A and B are shown apart, each in its own frame.
Chain A
Amino acid sequence: MIRRLITLAAALALATPAAAETVLIRNARVHTVDVAGTLEASDVLVRDGLIAAVGKALVAPDARVLEANGRALTPGLFGGLTALGLEDVSAEIGSVDHAYTPGAVMPAQPMSMRPEFDVTYAYNPASMVIPVQVVEGVTFTLLAPSSMPGGSLVGGLGGLATLDGSSIDLLPASRTLFVALGSGASPLTGNSRAAQFMLLDQAIRETRGALFEGDRLLTLAGRETMAKYLGGGRVLFYVDRAVDIRRTLAFAKKHGMKPVIAGGVEAWQVAAELAAAKVPVLIDPLVNLPGNFDQFGATLENAARLHEAGVRIAFTMSGDSSHMARKLRQAAGNAVANGLPWDAGLAAVTANPAAIFGANDRGRISVGQRADLVLWSGDPLEVTSLADQVWIGGEAQPMTSRQTLLRDRYAPKR
């Protein structure tokens, strides 16, 4: 209880000042994604940007009342691993900031491993890509540095961002080091995945003080960054092939890293090991075709099998994950259609990603949680349902984006 109060106090201290109004959302189907499960015909009171009460027949004379008429209320959705606010138009290099690629310029530079590269400094909370996602219920995302040609298998630092249009810092406990493994990253490491562990080992030796003139991988800042992640820091590994996942688990354990697996196309094949090691996995549940020889185990039942084995899962889109962040909800629905329990499907785009990345103040609807909420026109995982209203930190978000403006400008005359 004491711990909870402290959390509440800390959350209050961080909450958006003043602006957030007191709102009573009445008669909703409340998907708490918490121990309370789904509460029928229930109310949620939002005050000072937080959830102040959840229950039946709540009374709050100072609150603006919003009648939900039985509609579904969920926590705000996770957008997956994206470059939201880090890119506007993917094909326009001048609008893209999610990868450090000194080797891509001419003359090409040798690979420079810069774990200290931090995408936060590029994050634009006012990017026009963000409201397009917010009006579809997406309220937070993991800003993910990429490993691209001319860059390094160590992509750098990222973390959770709140998509409220103004916050420019990542959630402090969410900082994560990104590493890409497997065939996708192979061209960055002399065309062999074996060299990936060789180079990571070398970087770790350097971090621990074994320096040799002439073959350094890391700068001083890079060694300092790496050091933080060797002492229990969270490291996200992009890795698909089952055996590579097993090697990653062993590697992370050996070096004191707290691993998160992303991609994980064949993760279901090593589900028991992932569960035993309590390692969470982010997958795109729509991947069922082999993109390469790391993915021949691709199946639409990946999510269901991982969940069944006790692995904590969250979802992310492959491909254009930033512009398509809103599609994560559809992906969750498809995971449910392929054997994942419905509650687990919703958790994989709300509470799970929040918890995996250390944001315990969001992702659920319970007292003291941030009031990141979405009121839906129907089943929130259904493709024909749409977000009716989104709140971030208790503030009702304008349900407009440049897409809704285009829609209104060109709507057929009737």
Chain B
Amino acid sequence: MNLLRIAIVLALAPPLLAAEVPYPSTYQVPASTPVLIRDATVLVGDGSKLESADVLLRDGRISAVAVDLAAPADARVVEGKGKVLTPGLIDVHSHLGVYASPGMMSHQDGNEMTAPTTPNVWAEHSLNPNDPGFDSARAGGVTSMQILPGSANLIGGRGITVKNVPATTYQAMKFPGAPYGLKMACGENPKRVYGTKGAAPMTNMGNVAGYRKAFLDAQEYVRAQDEFTRKLVAWESNDKKDRGERPTPPKTDLALDTLAGVLRGEILVHNHCYRADEMATMLDLASEFGFRITAFHHGVEAYKIADLLASKGTCAALWADWWGFKMEALDGIQENLAFVDAAKDSCAIVHSDSPEGIQRLNQEAAKAMAHGNRAGLAITPEQAIRWLTANAAKAIGVADQVGTIEVGKQADVVLWNGDPFSVYAKAEQVWIDGALRFDRNDRNSWHQADVMLGMRKEVTP
């Protein structure tokens, strides 16, 4: 679809696609004092590294990166000597807020297990910002994340990308301008959830039939909308006297609206998929219907098809070492990330899918780097940091805003007290849009979720 047509469709299409997006972000970049982080080792996020560099944060943006910057008179100077500055970490696969701690029955809001395809549901409508997991993730240097529905369904619903700031509404966390993601799932989970009830899907072929049916319906929907747009354009340009009734728009369908967004390339597909053969099937499915799979998530066998993934421009968001908990996870290896990364034009990502793992994405990357290097690769920290910054930002469609320490980007940065690829490293200060959101040495900066109040004797990150 060419740009002009997209513009017309956007202008004329039903309310959900209108310029005014429902459930809009209310996130505000807070006013902040300029900060000059001086003399730090900077892992830029693009594969490069700067020694003894200075980084200036001003008005929520990275405003200068250089060696020997003069400190502006109004800037607070932070000594970075012996420390490492990285972009804020980004987790493309979190369920914080939709499975909030404590893990009580009422907090099981991540899987709408009532039908195998539920593209009509949006994770943000389940997102409970009062989850202490956000605070511990921030203490681990995580500044943005994509929160997805679970994997019970073939098509689970829309995900949402947030800034990891304390808030009482999800709208106040919502990453301005970030595209929506669509969660899809291959394999065992949908089969188990529905098949054990005697319902479809019960098999992998049933899974694929389910996706195809959904996208066939979505194609019809898009055709009807395009047809309406054509008629409307014609009606608008016809002589007002004899052009008849204004064409009526087709009925808006929440589910098909999301899938139409995928077909139009506006909504990014995030596909939970473990096995190499299943990923290849999904890539063919995407070709059949003319959309792209932005990223496979979990992909424990991604290393078997690293070149295929790279050739399709599909990212692989992976764990460092999870394996064996189900059959489709049996072939997990600790070199997965490194092998995927080794392919030309690859996009390897460290993800968590876990309130524990999200707190130490840096350690996950470190393990993957170590195993890759033992297998004969030569992965440096400045390369590995891309797995949890720039590549992650690319997969959730915000690479122009975050993910690297470059002038003009949002000032989401983390100062580590040492090599971030060490088990002993700690995120010491975390800035989001230039505002200091966590300072390990200042307890007053440690946000405590409402749910924790009065519950325990003492808070530690």
Q: Which residues does A use to contact B, with CB under 8 Å?
A: 88-92, 129, 132, 269, 286-293, 295-301, 320, 322-324, 326-327, 330, 333-334, 336-338, 377, 381-386, 403, 406-407, 410-412, 414
Which residue of the partner chain B has the closest CB to A342? Answer: B424
4 nearest A-B pairs in the assembled complex, by CB-CB distance: A333-B423, A323-B324, A91-B326, A296-B455
Q: 25 A-B residue contacts at CB 8 Å?
A: A91-B188, A132-B323, A269-B457, A287-B356, A289-B101, A289-B136, A289-B355, A290-B101, A290-B102, A291-B101, A293-B102, A299-B460, A300-B460, A320-B322, A323-B324, A337-B423, A382-B424, A383-B366, A383-B422, A403-B332, A407-B334, A407-B335, A410-B303, A410-B304, A412-B342
Q: A384-B367, A410-B339 are in contact. List 9 more A-B contacts (CB 8 A).
A: A88-B324, A90-B326, A129-B324, A132-B324, A287-B356, A289-B133, A296-B456, A324-B321, A383-B422
Which of chain B's residues 300-359 have a Cβ closer than 8 Å to chain A? 303-304, 306, 321-327, 329-335, 339, 342-343, 355-356, 359
The one of A92, A320, A336, A385 that contacts B327, using a Cβ cutoff of 8 Å: A92
Interface contact A290-B370, CB-CB below 8 Å: no
Contact A383/B367 with A291-B102, A320-B324, A323-B324 known, Cβ cut-off 8 Å: yes
| Chain A nearest Cβ from B331, distance in angstroms | 6
Check if B363 is an interface residue, CB within 8 A of chain A.
yes
Instruction: Give the residue of B330, B355, B366, B423 whose beta carbon is less than 8 angstroms from that of A89.
Output: B330
Nearest Cβ on chain A to B57's Cβ, whole angstroms: 27
- The CA of A129 and the CA of B324, in the complex, are separated in Å by 8
The contact of B103 among A88, A286, A287, A291, by CB within 8 Å, is A291
- Tell me whether B335 and A384 are in contact (CB under 8 A): no
What separation, in Å, do the CA atoms of A92 and B328 have in the docked complex?
A: 11
Q: Report the nearest B residue to A334, measured CB to CB.
A: B423
A89 adjacent to B339 (CB under 8 Å)? no
- A266 to chain B minimum Cβ distance, whole angstroms, is 8
The reply to whether the CB of B421 lies closer than 8 angstroms to some CB of chain A is yes
Residues in chain B near residue A323, CB distance under 8 A: 322-325
**Do A384 and B370 have beta carbons less than 8 Å apart?**
yes
Chain A residues with Cβ under 8 A from B422's Cβ?
382-384
Residues on A with C-beta less than 8 A from B331 are: 406
Query: Which one of B33-41, B371-379, B387-395, B396-404 is at the interface?
Result: B371-379
Which residues of B have CB within 8 Å of A92?
A: 326-327
Q: Mark B183-221, 1 if CB is under 8 A from A, else 0.
A: 000001000100000000000000000000000000000
State the main secondary structure of chain A at its contact with B. loop
Report chain B residues within 8 Å CB of A290.
101-102, 132, 452, 455-456
Give the residues in chain B near A88, CB-CB below 8 Å: 324
Return A154 CB to nearest CB of chain B, in Å.
25
Cα of A88 to Cα of B332 in the assembled complex, Å: 14
B61, CB-defined interface residue at 8 Å: no
- Cβ–Cβ < 8 Å partners of A292 in chain B: 102-104
B102 touches A337 (CB 8 A): no
Which residues of B sit under 8 angstroms from A336, Cβ to Cβ?
A: 423-424
State which of A132, A326, A337, A383 has its C-beta within 8 Å of the C-beta of B370: A383
Considering only residues 124-154 of chain B, those with a C-beta below 8 Å from chain A are 132-133, 136
CB of A384 within 8 A of CB of B366, answer yes
Q: Closest approach, in angstroms, between the C-beta of A412 and any C-beta of chain B?
A: 4
**Cα distance A336–B425 in the bound complex, in angstroms:** 11
- Among residues of A, the one whose C-beta sits closest to the C-beta of B330 is A89
Q: Is the CB of B102 within 8 A of A382?
A: no
Check B426 for interface membership: any CB of A closer than 8 A.
Answer: yes
